[in-house]
Copies of this chain bind each other. A is one copy, B any other.
Amino acid sequence: MLFKVEMTVKIPHDMPEEIAADIKAREKAYAQKLQAQGQWLHLWRVAGSYANVSIFDVQSNEELQEIISQLPLFPYMEISVAPLCRHPSSIHEDDR
């Protein structure tokens, strides 16, 4: 089951750089683990911004919540979620 998730990062200006660097490193590792596991299907940067467009592939709303709420950057992001499903005009097998 697919969800489009858009995340915009807003790190507080007064966060010490080494803390920010640590959070970002853990975010990257976590994002890559989820991609390797198949739950984070697509991850794109929105050009000209500190934001991404992502497609998640999960079994349930609950799994989506568990994944997103554990993002190291979760407290510092504005996040919007849209549930997706197969479009009647799609010819791509993986556009579920």
**Complex: chain B residue closest to A69, CB-CB:** B50
Given contacts A42-B92, A52-B87, A89-B27, contact A81 B47 (CB under 8 A): yes
Using Cβ atoms and an 8 Å threshold, which residues of chain B touch A86?
44-45, 62
A47 touches B95 (CB 8 A): no
A84 touches B13 (CB 8 A): no
Chain A residues with a Cβ closer than 8 Å to the other chain, count: 54
A35–B13 Cα distance when bound, in Å, is 28
A48 touches B68 (CB 8 A): yes
B32 touches A91 (CB 8 A): yes
Across the interface, A62 reaches (CB within 8 A) one of B13, B85, B89, namely B85
B44 touches A84 (CB 8 A): yes
Q: Which residues of A contact B (CB under 8 A)?
A: 1-5, 11-15, 27-28, 31-32, 35-36, 41-50, 52-53, 55, 60-62, 64-65, 68-69, 74-76, 79, 81-92, 95-96
